[in-house]
Structure 1
Amino acid sequence: VAVPLPLSARLLDELGLARATPASLMARWADAADDTESLGGRARAVLGAGPRGPVTADLVADGPHLLVEGPPGSGRTELLRAVVASLAAAERPDRLGMVLIDGRDGVGTAAGVGEGLRSCTDIPHVTTHLTANDPVRMREFAQSLSAELKRRSELVGLTDFAHWHTGHEVSGRMVAQRGSGGRGAGDGDLEAPPSSTLRLRPGAARQHTEAAPPLPRLVVVVDDLDALVSPALGSPGRPAAGSVMRALEAVAREGERLGVHLVVASGTGGRAAETEPARRATLRVTLEAPSGGRGTSAAERGAEGEPAPG
């Protein structure tokens, strides 16, 4: 049944979750393991609410790469955070890894506003968070990402990620079998430390590492590609931005065959539109800035009947 589009959408509502509890997430991950069509792992992102339910982007079926375009204040970072969270809710961490890059070298210095993608680092799927203000770390990251592409290329050989997994897919479980020992779906294998990051207990982690596919999908999320393409004069990361861009361009070219996806946010127009990550993005989202400007509060925008950014 078609319904009018809401002015705002709550991610948990679009995911069909009352709360993001260990038990509810483990149940979703168990369902993902039963999906025989998602070889190597799911990569499904929720973008928002549509007239007939959640609007999703499947990086495997419809991708491999996603581009989010919009002017400052349009909510690009907020949308990327939702994409990261929904990707994590759709697949367990041993089958889907994520790497986060904040192109603007000023993010991460203050809590709340301006912290970029740092708020996503508690998600267990996230292995790396890079802020473009440290040229040494940026070069190391570029080398590591290039090495990972080479490793995957050697593993899959002349075939591709999906065909490689047809002979290696393991129907393991991250949760205890339902009904075994009287435990519920959320007991036994998981504990939630004070940071609220989901971690496997050592025994469960060791057992699952042995059964897990050794080649999970990888999603590289980049906020503000423009800052890497055209870093500002005096930016600390300017000398190393080129090496990061070359690694991202390699992902754009070779990622689909190797199970590596790009989710990139940039401004409209400019030099970023001419790069490989932008040209090879088969999934595109365009955001518009609210007419009230960046200083307008969400409550004021809601009163005026305008959607909130992102």
Structure 2
Amino acid sequence: ADLVADGPHLLVEGPPGSGRTELLRAVVASLAAAERPDRLGLVLIDGRDGVGTAAGAGEGLRSCTDIPHVTTHLIANDPVRMREFAQSLSAELKRRAELVGLTDFAHWHTAHEVSGRMVAQRGPGGRGAGNGDLEAPPSSTLRLRPGAARQHTEAAPPLPRLVVVVDDLDALVSPALGSPGRPAAGSVVRALEAVAREGERL
């Protein structure tokens, strides 16, 4: 999957059992394989809350959470976390709009690409010792960066691409009566509509 060549949005349609969730998992894996964790963040949302459905329903994307690029995994049956997600996503869109301005995000992202290409495995230590060249970005993946580049990053932090992957969007935006996630549906829909309008900033 190529976010620049294929565009910022992708819609996968299909009834239950059609392989839609498996395809989304493949897209997540493809995106992660093509980019470093400090350059790409993935937010995974399972729209079906599992109420009144088979065991395990509503957790189709959970198997992707071991990918280091994944920052959050949400299930629609948690209205508190879903409402917090909607507020955070709206705030992030506003912040990026202020930083990027009218510039195309793909060009801005390329121009602000972090120097250094070496990515080390995640470890329990977190931060390195010595001259401080080894630091932990928000993904907790250690990467090697010259001290000067780090100082520049602190002054103007790079914006990683942020991809929101939703499995079963219909169930997310129109939850069934009695669904625990129904109270948060409105705020989530508004946040996702904002992504549809300005998704190129993510």
TM-score, normalised relative to structure 1: 0.52
Q: Distance in 2 between matches of 1:242 and 1:180?
A: 39
Residue 100 of structure 1 corresponds to 44
The alignment partner of 1:68 has SS state of coil
Q: Which has the larger radius of gyration?
A: 1
SS, match of residue 11 in structure 2: strand
Contact 1:174 1:208 in 2 (8 A): no
Post-superposition CA distance 1:86-117 (Å, at most 9, x none) = 11111000001100011011289999776311
Q: Does 1:242 align with 2:178?
A: no
1:170, CA displacement in angstroms?
A: 3.1
- Alignment check: 8 A CA contact 1:84 1:120 kept: yes
Shift of 1:82: 1.2
How many pairs align? Answer: 201
Query: How far apart, in 1, do the equivalents of 2:121 and 2:66 lie?
Result: 27
1:100 and 1:140 map into 2 onto residues whose CA distance is 14
Go from structure 1 to structure 2 and tell me whether the alpha carbon gap of 1:207 and 1:223 turns closer, same or farther (over 3 Å shift): farther
CA deviations 1:166-199 (Å, max 9, x no partner) are 5423332234899999999999999999999999
Match of 2:29 in 1: 85
What is the deviation of 1:162?
Answer: 2.7
Q: Render the CA deviation track for 1:190-235: whole Å, top value 9, x for unaligned.
A: 9999999999999999899769961111110000011122211100
How many angstroms apart in 2 are the aligned matches of 1:236 and 1:128?
19
Alpha carbons 1:176, 1:185 under 8 Å: kept: no
Does the CA-based 8 Å contact 2:40-2:162 persist in structure 1? yes
TM-score of the pair, normalised by structure 2? 0.77
The answer on whether the counterparts of 1:102 and 1:224 sit within 8 Å (CA) in structure 2 is yes
Secondary structure at 1:128 match in 2: strand
Task: State how far apart, in whole Å, the 2-side matches of 1:179 and 1:98 are.
Answer: 20
Q: Which residue of 2 aligns with 1:178?
A: 122
CA deviation map 1:130-180 (0-9, x unaligned): 100111111110000000000100000122213323542333223489999
Sequence identity percentage: 96
Distance 1:104 1:183, change over 3 A: closer
Within 2, Cα distance between the matches of 1:182 and 1:150? Answer: 30
Q: Secondary structure at the match of 1:78?
A: helix
> Cα–Cα, structure 1 residues 167 and 193, in superposed 2: closer, same or farther, change >3 Å?
closer
| Equivalent residues of 2:58, 2:75 under 8 A apart | no
Runs of 4+ displaced beyond 4 Å: 107-114, 176-213
**CA gap 1:204/1:224 in 2 versus in 1, 3 angstroms:** farther
Distance 2:130 2:60 in 1: 31
Gaps of at least 5 residues in structure 2 are none
* Higher mean displacement: 161-170 or 73-82: 161-170
Q: Deviations over 1:229-248 (max 9, x none)?
A: 22111000001111111111
* Conserved? CA contact 1:103–1:131, under 8 Å: yes
Task: Say if 1:107 and 1:116, in contact at 8 Å, map to a contact too.
Answer: no
| Pairwise CA RMSD | 6.2
Q: Distance in 2 between matches of 1:208 and 1:174?
A: 18
Task: Note closer, same or farther for the CA distance 1:69–1:163 as it changes in structure 2 (3 Å cut).
Answer: same
Change (3 A) 1:252 1:168: same
Q: Distance in 2 between matches of 1:69 and 1:228?
A: 14
* 166-175 or 219-228: bigger deviation: 166-175
**Structure 2: how far apart are the matches of 1:249 and 1:189?**
40
Indicate how the Cα distance of structure 1 residues 80 and 165 shifts in structure 2: closer, same or farther if over 3 A, else same: closer
Higher strand share: 1
